[in-house]
Each structure stands twice: as structure tokens, then as C-alpha cells.
Structure 1
């Protein structure tokens, strides 16, 4: 029987408190390879971009995020896919797809988290929920969002790729040390994705899902990143160092060792497109 793949367009932006993430998701879904058999679903997301997000339980946007995550779960439970392509949006969009897939593949499944940041914060650490999503999947993170996770992962089922170790916050370093999640820095991946393949082999994973936060990429290699927002000063947070070509090659090589059943692409910010749309909207001729 052929496997069923769905494309999930999930323009959630409240986790990153940035409406531009929603625009990025829509554009990403449009330009990505379309496939031949994929059925596409769109998660309904609040587009009240001008309204200030409420601050509840230590982070912004809880009400919207919870409703949107539940909607994503409902779509997946009804459609029952075998594989999921998710177009985000901020990093929060991986929760429902990965939780659903874990229920299907259980202990035979691992997560490759390609990111410059660990995403295991808690509300007392940070106020943006997209920095908590992997924590949610591990049973920590934001309690009010984590409580809807049905199939929590163990730290042994996760590996980071592209993590910028030198820029970890103290609390992040302590959490990682406690969880013992393995990671490969950009330097570790300089000669290829062998650390990832070795991790898959050692854990005997038959299936894996990839969370690809585009901020794992070097802003010199790939422009459409938060850190490259025009007319803003240099950022002080971790900036990625991977290249797009090498990262895709790493995923492809890993797919020869285990079946890739989930791929999230998150935090795409095509600034030229976003800004040309924003500026042209000021001309009456576009609004007639």
C-alpha cells in the first residue's frame, strides 16, 4: 500500500510574536516543490496582526497558539497521513505533526532538530513560545501547550544539528547537560552528516522527522532570515553557520539510513517580498 503524504500549511506566528512568520509560511508553501499525490491542508490561524498579543502564563499568544495547535491535531487525526510536510510559520508548528507521527511510529522514530537554538526554554526563561516547542514535545516547555502532547519523546530520541554551542544561554546549557541530548555543531558537520547517520544507526531508528529552522543557515549563504531584517542593527543571539546545500545533502543522506516521515521548514522570512507587498499596499491603485 502506498504511503500517504500531506502538506500542512501552518502560518502560526504568535509563538515568535512576529506576523512576518505567517507571510513566510504562505510564500514557502507556494514556492516549494509541489509533489504529485500530496493532499494539502491549511491550519486556520488568527490574522489579527495589529492586535497586541495577550501575555498569559508567562508567554505571549497562549490562547491563539493553543487553539491553532488543537486545529492542527484535528486535521492530522482526520486525514491519517503516513508522512507530513509542514510549512511554517514559527518553530511552534512542529509540535502537532511530530506528536502525531510519534503516535504512529513510537520508539522506532527519532527527531533531527536542525537549529541554531535548542528550543527547550520554559516560560520563566523566555516569553516567546517558539523557543519552547521541543521542550513541549519532551514533556517540559510551556505547561499549558505541552499538556496537549499525547506521545512525548524522550531526550534519547532527539539529536540537534547546527546548534551554536558557544551562544547557549546559561539556562539552556544546564538543561542540555541534564537532558543529555546529543548535538553536532556546524564544525562537527564540516565534513558531512556522518554524526547524524551514526546517531540513527546507534538508536536503530527506522523513521525520523526533521525540524529545519532556517536560522540554522548562515546569513551569508541564505538571506531570508530574521537576523537579516533590513535596517536593523546586528543581532546578539546565535546566528547559524550551515549552508542550504550541505543541510539538504545531510537530510538526503540520513534518509538512506531511515525513512524520513516528517519535515518541518520554519521561520522563512523573504524580506524583499514582505517589504514590497507592505510598501505597495500604501498606493491607492492597489486597493481600488
Structure 2
């Protein structure tokens, strides 16, 4: 089993329901007409459900206040980043919340993928070169401001690795060297961020449903020399046969038993001090909420 105990001392559970990193009102599916931005706001609902369904937690819990303002001004694209002002403000708030608790480890429930930037940057400042990051995601998340897709979630890993908007980078207490980052389960090799990922030297391990995948990950970890691990899990990496509450596409993703096998192996090889679950998009519950608003309940 992993060496991280979710209810143990020194662990912070961070609830970070950020949705603004997903650009565009139709970013995660479709809802009935007249509900602009509700698909994005499903990311705001997801963390609450993750917290509700998770085992009891006897450590501290921190909450990042996230605006639900969907006005044109609030979601304006500035310097190539959608809703830039809100995302930057919430990044700083997330860093403040984590730093005030000064935890030895952090479990984060998001929100879209950029919720990992604040806690992982904090962990990088605490553990330095002894921290390795595994980014379990179907997409590279190594885009840059000015790319065709303006959502900050697509830039989150590049920012964590030290490239991107200067004001965002200035807010971070530390970044993670690309040599200490491994991408696991990457599926979208046509994403514009792939060129940046390759230029930065971020390594990848694909998932073929065999123990060979785990061996490659452990070999990479041994080369880094890091003993502390932060693991980002974008739920869209999962195969739709196992989980459909995210924005992944089809039955070519990672199976849940493979994810658990990898996490257990990592816990045996080092100490997992960071774990993020992101991109939970409970669209059906939003649709249900829309129905309830129309019924005389």
C-alpha cells in the first residue's frame, strides 16, 4: 500500500473548485440552451462530491474560494489566458491556504487540472530536488499563453515546470525541473503543447496494461534520486468503461486497476506527499439540478 495516509498527521486536504481554467462555455459537454458556462461550472461541483465520497479525514481541510461569476468581464481573455484575473487570484489564494497550514503532504480535490499548480509548487519549495512529479493525464498540459486554446489548464504543467506567463511564475514559491517530471498515460499526441513538452525534456510512459509500464516508471524515479512524490491524476485519463464522469474520450484510456497498481508501486518506492484528483465533471448532476429548478419542489 502507499506510504501516504490520507487521515494522518501533517496532511492537508485542499478543496479547490476552480473551473475558469477550462476556456469556453462548451468546454466540457452540452447542457440545454440558456445555461451558459454551466458545463464549466460542473468542475466547481466536482470537488464537493469527491470530498463527500472520500474516507473520513481527521486532518485539516483548506478551502480555496472560487468565484462563480460568468460575466464577460470575469471570463475575459487577457494575455492569452481565459479568465486570467480570476485564475491568477485563485492561484495566489491556493498558495496562501496551503502555506498557512504548512503541511507535510497535500491531497487536492479539483476542479480542472490547474488546481495542482499551487500545492505542487508548495511541495517543491518544501522538498526541493527530492520531489518528483508524476502527471497522469491524457493531455500534455504544456501549452503557452497565445496558443489557440486559452484555458490555463492546458498550461498548468508548463507553469509548474517554470515556463509561461511571468506574473503566474512570479507567484510560485518554487518550480519543478522538467527532469523531475514524468507524464503517464498521455493520449493526445496532436495537442499543440506536445512540441513544448518535447523541447522541455519532460519524459513520458504510455500505459499498455502490463507490469512493464510500472517498471519503466520506477526506473525513471530511481534515476531522479527523488524520495518524495506528487501525483496529479486527471480523471479524463481513465477508460470510459471504468469512469465516465470526466471529459475523456472512448475506451482507450487507463483502466482503474492499472492506476491503482502504479500508485501502490510508487508508495513502495517513495513517499507520496501530494495527490491531486482533477477534472471531475458531473454533468448529469447539473442537468438534474436544472430539472429541479423547473419543478415545483
Common fold by TM > 0.5: yes
Residues 1:120 and 2:142 aligned together: yes
- The aligned counterpart of 2:214 is 193
1:249 aligns with 2:261: yes
Q: Please give the alpha-carbon distance, in whole angstroms, between the structure 2 residues aligned to 1:138 and 1:191.
A: 27
**How far apart are residue 262 of structure 1 and its match?**
0.3
SS at structure 2 position matched to 1:268: coil
1:188–1:139: structure 2 CA closer, same or farther, 3 Å change rule?
farther
Q: Do structure 1's residue 203 and structure 2's residue 224 form an aligned pair?
A: yes
Do the aligned partners of 1:129 and 1:142 also contact (CA within 8 Å) in 2?
Answer: no
Cα deviations across residues 9-68 of structure 1 (Å, max 9, x unaligned)? 000000013111111121112112223x32111100002246561111112111111111
Partner of 1:6: 12
The Cα offsets for residues 77-104 of structure 1, whole Å up to 9 and x where unpaired, read as: 1111001000000001001100101111
Equivalent in the alignment of 1:231: none
Cα distance change on mapping 1:29 and 1:226 into 2, 3 Å: same
Q: Answer yes or no: is the 8 Å Cα contact 1:132–1:142 preserved in 2.
A: no
Pair 1:75-2:107 in alignment? no
Is the 2:237–2:253 contact (alpha carbons within 8 Å) kept by the matching residues of 1?
Answer: yes
190-199 or 205-214, which deviates more: 190-199
Structure 1 gap segments, 5+ residues each: 229-233
Give the conservation status (yes or no) of the 8 Å contact 1:117–1:168: no
| Residue aligned with 2:106, SS | strand
Does 1:132 find its partner at 2:155? yes
1:69 and 1:163, CA in 2 relative to 1: closer, same or farther beyond 3 A? same
Corresponding residue pairs, total:
272
| Correspondence for 2:204 | 183
Q: Where do 1:1-288 residues align within 5 Å?
A: 3-17=9-23, 18-35=40-57, 37-49=58-70, 53-125=75-147, 126-164=149-187, 167-169=189-191, 171-187=192-208, 191-227=212-248, 241-285=253-297
The TM-score with structure 1 as length reference comes to 0.88
Counterparts of 1:254 and 1:27 in 2: how far apart (Å)?
26
On the 8 A contact 2:237/2:248 being kept in 1, the answer is: no
TM-score (norm 2): 0.86
Alpha carbons of structure 1 residues 276 and 133: separation in structure 2 relative to 1, 3 Å: same
User: Once the 2 structures are TM-superposed, how far is the Cα of residue 143 of structure 1 from its aligned partner?
Assistant: 3.2
Task: Tell me how far apart the structure 1 counterparts of residues 190 and 210 of structure 2 sit (CA, whole Å).
Answer: 18
Change (3 A) 1:143 1:182: same
Q: Does the aligned pair in 2 maintain the 1:116–1:240 contact within 8 Å?
A: no
